[in-house]
Chains A and B, each alone.
Chain A
Amino acid sequence: MQQAVTISASLDDIVPSAMVPAGRMRLGWAILALGSLVLAGVLLIRILQAVEMAEFGFQTWRPVLYAYVFWGITLCVSQVLRRGEAGVRALFILPAVLFVIAMVVFPLVFGLYISFTDWNLSSLSGRRFNGLDNIRQMWGDPFYWNALYNMMWYTLAVLVEYAIAFGLAVLLHSEIRARKFFRVVFLLPLMLSPVAVSWMVGKSMMEIRFGPVANFARWLGWDRPAFFTDPWLAKLSIMVMDAWTFIPLMMIMLLAGLQAVPKEVTEAAKVDGANAWQTFWRVLFPLTLPVSITAILIRIIFKLKIADIIINVTSGGPGGATDSVTSFIFREYRDRSNVGYGTLLAMVYLVIIVVVLTVLLNVLGRWMRGYDQQEA
């Protein structure tokens, strides 16, 4: 996903940054100072009110939000005034950066704080700092470890999905009639919301008494087609539904990868006497390996967020067999209002994801380099 910035900086030479007059410079600083002052002032007033030292009639923290937006605008204006062309260019990314900082960095820091508190929304005592108690509780919480264990299986299922998606991409890439029709049809499951899928497939088609899938299973000779009572079967059913929605995503990426392979390459392989099987494994598969890795990574990222189907079909049951981390924390909040503990679990999950993905990317990077040399 990371590519070297190739054509950046080439526009830098066209427009020379003119000297900015001192007066404009001062005006720029003044505007930024005004914005900062307003933000600091509003923040201070609100904090004073929050600790009940003064009363200004601010009902909520909303004014602080407006002050932040105002500060952002003054920052942009002052950039343009002070830095001229460079400031104009900064305008391209400043709004997005400010937005992400407000929406991610700040809540993450805040989340880090509440994850070390004992805070139950339904209890009257309010928020209380409790140090490492949440971590200790997590250590002894079998359901959380169980959810992490399930996530491992859900993630491994990506490999099976990948194999199916690759097969479909190869078929779509081959010379078939009605290719456009098949492409549209194969894409459709991706359009459907997981909530609708969990009703359409999980709750009605897999219905034990008269769902068509259950009927089909009965016809195949399975007496009691209960998809959600046996732990492993339930897990498998969830995986199948999730795979059904997301296989098109990988399929299309892989199809694009296959189409990017020049026709001459496969033809050359054929001239050299390679059969279809050899052409695939020796030529196409290695050539599409980078796309494959991107597709698998994107899919894993989406997989790690899996929750909607589980929440709506099994609520984690039977006995936590289908629980994902997200669905578990969702219930921790909704049923027990346990904000502090739930947030800690989510933070730990984030750390695990970051560590695992970093290791995975490093291993993949090393392996890819090895593969290249081997092929070359």
Chain B
Amino acid sequence: MAVAAPTVDDNGVPSATAGGHLRRIAMRAVIYGILIVWAFICLFPIYWTVTTSFKAAPNVMQGHLIPFVDFQPQWRGWQSIGLSPEVLTQTSTVRAEFVKRFMNSVIASLSASTLALILGSTAAYGLSRFSYKFFWMKNKDISFFFLSQLILPPVVLAMPFLVLYKELALLDSLTGLILLYTLMVLPIVVWIMRDQFRGIPVELEEAALVDGLSTWGAFLRIVVPIALPGMVAAFILSLILCWNEYFFAALLTSTDAKTLPVMVASQTGSQGINWWSMAALSTAAIAPLVIVGILLERYIIAGMATGAVK
């Protein structure tokens, strides 16, 4: 941006006076200062949670912050959920419970994102390429029908679903949860993928059709490979939303299908707060997405940017 643009004007002659030079250095100091402060704000809660999972009670009480300097790290927190090195080989009920919740979250978010990606990208492709007419609804209306789901607050559907799922015997089942999560992220997938497909020139498919591929063949063999980065972006965004979802899971699941966020939330209430085990649990709950975020940052940013900029 203009604020920080290096001044190489005037044919490389150091044009700025001493005052201007100082001002530029001060400017850069302010910019880096803000960046570092905000990076600290972003990272500190994560750092705090990870370190707290290695603290004993007195360390927490005295507000110790730096491992090996302030306090000696211990495996207390990880022991309490059965994941520390010394108990890892033994059987443990707490670990079984944790692994079950973790796997529930994995299954629910992966299947819902996959399902939403399939339904959403075919719909988005259809809407970006063909003109439909269902009764009075044209393409624009159908697009609006999908995208308007985005403003639907989950609470509106919560109680009808509670009752319906009870009647359908889907309460406390992963299938029910997956269907709901698919619904929740479908508009986002449609939104991102519609823009992705719009960016692909139609001539490619025309050539494929002339070469004898069917409509679906052209879609699967020509368009999908090109749109793959966009699909990855949509998939990861869906994954984030599904993995973190709490509201529906809290209402619709109890023993079998309970997911990780519900487990984390339910720990806080009961016997006061068990600091180290809560910290270990939170760390385990956020770790997968933090890793995904670091590794696939490019795709996440690409996905969110697609929708914003035409």
Supposing A191-B240, A252-B304 touch, asked if A7 and B202 sit within 8 A by C-beta, the answer is: yes
A142 at the binding interface (Cβ < 8 Å) = no
- A97 x B286 contact (CB < 8 A): no
Supposing A100-B186, A191-B293, A330-B247 touch, asked if A186 and B39 sit within 8 A by C-beta, the answer is: yes
A92 at the binding interface (Cβ < 8 Å) = yes
- A182 x B39 contact (CB < 8 A): yes
- B155 x A326 contact (CB < 8 A): yes
The one of B1, B65, B131, B183 that contacts A8, using a Cβ cutoff of 8 Å: B131
**Cβ contacts under 8 Å, B143 to chain A:** 2
Cα distance A200–B275 in the bound complex, in angstroms: 10
- A294 x B307 contact (CB < 8 A): yes
Q: How far is the CB of A138 from chain B (nearest CB, A)?
A: 14
Closest to A328 in B: B155
Q: Select the residue from A111, A176, A192, A260 with max chain B CB neighbours within 10 A.
A: A192
Closest to B301 in A: A252
The one of B32, B142, B268 that contacts A203, using a Cβ cutoff of 8 Å: B268
Closest to B118 in A: A95
For window 119-153 of B, CB contacts with A under 8 Å fall at 119-120, 122-123, 125-132, 134, 139-140, 142-147, 149-153
Q: Is the interface of B mostly helix, strand, loop or mixed?
A: helix
Segment touching A, from B55-63, B73-81, B92-100, B224-232: B55-63
Segment touching B, from A129-137, A165-173, A222-230: A165-173
- B4 x A88 contact (CB < 8 A): no
Q: How far is the CB of A192 from chain B (nearest CB, A)?
A: 5
- A175 x B4 contact (CB < 8 A): yes
B102 at the binding interface (Cβ < 8 Å) = no
- B308 x A279 contact (CB < 8 A): no
- A108 x B305 contact (CB < 8 A): no
- B247 x A88 contact (CB < 8 A): no
Cα distance A2–B194 in the bound complex, in angstroms: 11
**Cβ contacts under 8 Å, A65 to chain B:** 168
A103 at the binding interface (Cβ < 8 Å) = yes
- A339 x B128 contact (CB < 8 A): no
Cα distance A357–B148 in the bound complex, in angstroms: 11
For window 2-33 of A, CB contacts with B under 8 Å fall at 2-3, 5-12, 14-15
**Cβ contacts under 8 Å, A182 to chain B:** 35, 39
Cα distance A11–B200 in the bound complex, in angstroms: 13
A-B contact count (CB 8 A): 348
- B132 x A192 contact (CB < 8 A): no
Supposing A5-B140, A191-B292 touch, asked if A100 and B149 sit within 8 A by C-beta, the answer is: yes
- A200 x B282 contact (CB < 8 A): yes
Cα distance A196–B261 in the bound complex, in angstroms: 7
- A97 x B301 contact (CB < 8 A): no
Cα distance A12–B205 in the bound complex, in angstroms: 12
Q: How far is the CB of A188 from chain B (nearest CB, A)?
A: 6
The one of B32, B52, B180, B285 that contacts A193, using a Cβ cutoff of 8 Å: B285
**Cβ contacts under 8 Å, B244 to chain A:** 192-195
Cα distance A265–B147 in the bound complex, in angstroms: 33
The one of A6, A304, A326 that contacts B198, using a Cβ cutoff of 8 Å: A6
A99 at the binding interface (Cβ < 8 Å) = yes
**Cβ contacts under 8 Å, B158 to chain A:** 329-330, 333, 346
B111 at the binding interface (Cβ < 8 Å) = no
How many interface residues does B have (CB within 8 Å)?
Answer: 117
Q: Select the residue from A65, A92, A252 with max chain B CB neighbours within 10 A.
A: A92
**Cβ contacts under 8 Å, B202 to chain A:** 7, 10-11
Q: Select the residue from A15, A59, A93, A97 with max chain B CB neighbours within 10 A.
A: A93
Supposing A195-B246, A199-B268 touch, asked if A188 and B285 sit within 8 A by C-beta, the answer is: no
Top 4 A-B pairs ranked by shortest CB distance? A92-B126, A256-B305, A193-B244, A253-B308
- Selected A-B contacts with CB under 8 Å, 8 pairs: A5-B131, A99-B182, A100-B149, A182-B39, A244-B41, A294-B307, A325-B155, A333-B251
Q: Measuring CB to CB, which residues of chain B are less than 8 angstroms from any residue of chain A?
A: 1-6, 31-32, 34-35, 38-39, 41-46, 48-49, 52, 60-63, 65, 119-120, 122-123, 125-132, 134, 139-140, 142-147, 149-164, 167-170, 179-180, 182-183, 186, 190-191, 198, 202, 205-206, 209-210, 214-216, 219, 240, 243-244, 246-247, 250-251, 261-262, 264-265, 268, 273, 275, 278-279, 282, 285-286, 289-290, 292-294, 297, 300-301, 304-305, 307-310
Q: Measuring CB to CB, which residues of chain A are less than 8 angstroms from any residue of chain B?
A: 1-3, 5-12, 14-15, 59-62, 64-65, 85, 88-93, 95-97, 99-100, 103-104, 107-108, 110-111, 114, 167-168, 170-171, 173-176, 180, 182-201, 203-205, 209-212, 215, 244, 249, 252-260, 266, 269-270, 275-276, 279-280, 284, 290-291, 294-295, 298, 301, 304-305, 307-308, 311-312, 325-326, 329-330, 333-334, 339, 342-343, 346-347, 349-350, 353-354, 357
15 extra interface residue pairs, beta carbon distance < 8 Å, beyond A185-B39, A204-B48, A205-B48? A11-B130, A11-B209, A11-B215, A61-B168, A62-B170, A93-B126, A97-B123, A104-B157, A168-B38, A175-B1, A188-B294, A193-B244, A256-B301, A305-B153, A346-B155
